[in-house]
């Protein structure tokens, strides 16, 4: 006989309390699992958005981040001679040699954290046109002035317009606030590269070089030109997006591993709850099971019915958990980026792969929690079941 799915849907609400508790438990686990994946994806999305697909980055090979990459001034001049570097209307190369340093700032809510200060040139307007000054003005390259990212301005004391920050033996004035569509740049402060080099007595040694090519199709030719010059063998070029994507990998992997471990621990409790609920369903419907068996329903049909009910609970819980987790997209948090050793503000982010992963995880819990009770229901003796 056909599998009695209609019976499943009718009996689903007969045990409202235990069903609700089970759904709540699985939904909580799905929420935690989704939050972890959204956090890791949020880090990746923020840092990848920091880079532009039209820019390339030159760094020292094997450097783990910008602060560990050092490019001497003569190397910068050598790179300027390479082909396919774009120029402005007045013939200036669109290329920014950028030093990067770390300073300490007080957090408004208490404590202290690291902030990355990036030195940029006037070419930054051509390299990163998406960066907008939302209040104040651009820094004067002849003065010790800074502009602060929106996230820095929101979180840290002394990052407001007119505030003075003391580092490298001098006072730097914040003169503007900028934003960049939620990218990692918003967790930085920018100043003139020459001012920053002089303040830290770094001579002409910068951290990285950002370049806009005349056409990204010429990227491989640019890399070959670098590879043929033996003086540039210690350096490598990559797209800016790829560079910042690499900066997110270690932190994102750590979040996923730690979060998945915690989620698995929580899932044991949710699975046990689902198992208890389904065992209760079998115990309360022993006579009904016996009746269905006497009417000709096979053991396989009974097994399928109870597995379907367990799966229905799991899928509803998954939907609830994902719906709750999606609300996290309205919140931003910050953490220490291990590669830059500086504060990084990012938002939770949801994508289709996270939704699919959550449903698969919930289905697994439903299968695990429902199989043994369903198997017990299928094995019930017809006569004993009818006797209750």
Same domain? 264 vs 369: yes
User: CA 186 → CA 4, 59, 76, 129, distances in Å?
Assistant: 58, 22, 26, 14
Same domain? 67 vs 212: yes
- For 331-344, the pLDDT digits (tens) are 888 887 767 778 88
- For 214-262, the pLDDT digits (tens) are 999 999 999 999 999 999 999 999 998 888 888 877 778 888 888 888 8
Q: Answer whether residue 54 is part of any domain.
A: no
Q: Looking at the 3D structure of the chain, how many domains does it have?
A: 2
User: CA 228 → CA 82, 143, 221, 224, distances in Å?
Assistant: 11, 39, 11, 6
CB 187 within 8 A of CB 345: yes
Q: Answer whether residue 239 is part of any domain.
A: no
Q: Answer whether residue 379 is part of any domain.
A: yes
Q: Give the whole-angstrom CA distance, residue 330 versus residue 327.
A: 6
Strands 145-149 and 170-179: parallel
Residue 334, pLDDT score: 83
Q: Answer whether residue 254 is part of any domain.
A: yes
CB 196 within 8 A of CB 101: yes
Q: Give the whole-angstrom CA distance, residue 130 versus residue 138.
A: 14
Same domain? 195 vs 267: no
Least confident of 271-280, 347-356, 361-370: 271-280
Same domain? 100 vs 195: yes
- Domain boundary residue, one of 210, 233, 256: 233
Same domain? 123 vs 261: no
- For 6-57, the pLDDT digits (tens) are 666 666 666 677 778 778 888 888 998 999 999 889 888 888 778 788 899 9
Q: Answer whether residue 242 is part of any domain.
A: no
What is the domain range of residue 223?
A: 62-233
Same domain? 124 vs 215: yes
- Domain boundary residue, one of 233, 256, 287: 233
Same domain? 251 vs 227: no
- Domain boundary residue, one of 233, 262, 281: 233
User: CA 170 → CA 99, 204, 384, distances in Å?
Assistant: 17, 19, 89
Same domain? 26 vs 158: no
Same domain? 33 vs 98: no
């Amino acid at each position: 006989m056909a599998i009695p799915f209609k019976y499943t849907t009718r009996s689903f609400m007969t045990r409202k309390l235990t069903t609700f508790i089970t759904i709540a438990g699985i939904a909580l686990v799905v929420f935690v699992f989704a939050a972890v994946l959204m956090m890791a994806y949020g880090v990746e999305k923020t840092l990848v958005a920091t880079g532009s697909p039209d820019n390339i980055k030159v760094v020292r090979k094997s450097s783990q981040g910008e602060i560990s990459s050092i490019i001497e001034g003569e190397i910068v001049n050598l790179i300027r001679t390479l082909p396919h570097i774009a120029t402005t209307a007045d013939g200036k190369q669109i290329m920014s040699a950028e030093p990067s340093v770390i300073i300490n700032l007080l957090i408004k809510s208490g404590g202290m954290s690291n902030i990355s200060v990036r030195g940029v040139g006037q070419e930054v307007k051509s390299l990163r046109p998406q960066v907008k000054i939302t209040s104040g003005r651009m820094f004067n390259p002849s003065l010790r002035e800074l502009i602060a990212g929106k996230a820095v301005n929101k979180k840290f004391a002394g990052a407001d317009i007119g505030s003075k920050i003391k580092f490298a033996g001098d006072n730097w004035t914040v003169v503007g606030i900028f934003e960049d569509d939620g990218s990692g740049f918003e967790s930085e402060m920018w100043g003139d590269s020459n001012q920053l080099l002089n303040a830290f007595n770094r001579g002409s040694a910068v951290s990285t070089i950002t370049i806009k090519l005349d056409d990204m199709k010429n990227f491989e030719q640019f890399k070959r030109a670098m590879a043929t010059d033996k003086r540039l063998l210690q350096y490598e070029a990559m797209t800016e997006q790829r560079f910042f994507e690499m900066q997110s990998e270690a932190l994102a992997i750590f979040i996923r591993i730690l979060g998945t471990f915690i989620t698995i621990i929580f899932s044991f409790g949710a699975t046990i709850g689902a198992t208890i609920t389904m065992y209760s369903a079998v115990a309360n419907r022993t006579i009904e099971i016996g009746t269905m068996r006497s009417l000709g329903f096979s053991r396989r049909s009974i097994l399928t019915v109870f597995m379907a009910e367990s799966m229905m609970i799991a899928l509803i819980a998954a939907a609830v958990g994902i719906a709750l987790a999606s609300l996290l997209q309205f919140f931003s948090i910050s953490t220490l980026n291990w590669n830059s050793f500086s504060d990084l503000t990012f938002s939770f982010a949801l994508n289709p792969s996270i939704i699919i992963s959550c449903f698969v995880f919930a289905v697994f819990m439903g299968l695990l929690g429902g199989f043994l009770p369903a198997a017990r229901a299928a094995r019930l003796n017809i006569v004993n079941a009818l006797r209750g």
